[in-house]
Amino acid sequence: SYELTQPPSVSVSPGQTASITCSAEKLGDKYVCWYQQKPGQSPVLVIYQDSERPSGISGIPERFSGSHSGNTATLTIGGTQAIDEADYYCQTWDRNVVFGGGTKLTVL
């Protein structure tokens, strides 16, 4: 089965840039999206199609961005705030939906 690999944890200081990676074989042939999940809450889509931010009522702040190079996709949070502390999951589609293991972002 297809597997996405994320670091278990990432730490960042307030105001700094946080980067969370997601890697897999042949990931360069696929698109990636990212979800944010805070304790006790449902996941929220923050990036889709590698780098697109959802708009509308649940608009995602511009400090969230996504990129994809080769077999690694990256979620970047610029000017990280305390409210960004959460678990982040990458997800792709390989004839089925596949999630990464999740990364706990700590804002110290």
Partner 1 sequence: QVQLQQWGAGLLKPSETLSLTCAVYGGSFSGYYWSWVRQSPGKGLEWIGEINHTGNINYNPSLKSRVTISVDTPKNQFSLKLSSVTAAVTSVYYCARGNMVQAWGQTYYYYMDVWGKGTTVTVSS
Binding positions for partner 1, rule: CB under 8 A: 1, 29-31, 33, 35, 37, 42-45, 48-50, 54, 57, 87, 89, 91-93, 95-102
Report, in Å, the least distance between residue 56 CB and partner 1: 8
Residues 6+ apart with CB under 8 A from 23: 4, 5, 71, 72, 73
Report, in Å, the least distance between residue 14 CB and partner 1: 26
| Residue 55 CB coordination number (10 Å) | 8
Instruction: Please tell me the distance from the alpha carbon of residue 48 to that of residue 3, in angstroms, as a whole number.
Output: 18
**Identity of the residue, 16 or 49, whose beta carbon is nearer to partner 1 in the bound complex:** 49
